[in-house]
Amino acid sequence: MGTTATPQHRAGTQVAATGLTLFAGVMLFISGVLDIFRGIMAIAEDDVYVSTPNYLFKFDLTSWGWINLAFGAIAVIVSFGLFTAKTWARVVGVGIAALLLIANFLSIPYYPVWSLTLIALYAFTIWALCVVRRDPMAD
């Protein structure tokens, strides 16, 4: 025996979906801007970062800067799609947040506190975008 959702339940689900998508959009925007700044710092001033001579995933810091700058810019653009609740933005948002989470993990030896902070922000973003399912009855 199936149950049907009441109009109040559907409205509550839609409010939760909208709230979490907005939360993810704000988190992705803030994290993206921080990654843009981090990229600019790495491109302009390499001596801001810690030197790690024996790091397995060693990249030139200017390369890390361009990676962070590009991904951060994409994250900011995707966040605007999340503000308008576009489905493509949720899918791309999870993908870009996952890529940036990995990039920040790989750059922990260069700037540990900032990397760990951004990893947490991207993890919350992924959670917020994945936890809400659209209610088919709400459309």
Say if 7 falls within a structural domain: no
Say if 12 falls within a structural domain: no
Q: Which residue segment(s) compose the domain that 67 sits in?
A: 30-50+57-132
Asked if the model's pLDDT at residue 7 lies above 60, the reply is: no
Asked if the model's pLDDT at residue 88 lies above 70, the reply is: yes
- Count of structural domains within the chain: 1
Q: Would you state the torsion angle of the CA atoms of residues 43, 108, 128, 35, taken in this order, to the nearest 10 degrees?
A: -10
Helix ranges (DSSP H) in the chain: 7-44, 61-83, 87-106, 112-131
What the block records as the tokens of 12 is 């509550």
Say if 42 falls within a structural domain: yes
Say if 119 falls within a structural domain: yes
Say if 120 falls within a structural domain: yes
Nearest alpha-carbon partner for 35 in 113, 100, 111, 91: 100
Three-state DSSP at 118 gives helix
Read off the pLDDT of each residue in 103-111 and give the average, rounded to a whole number: 81
Say if 115 falls within a structural domain: yes
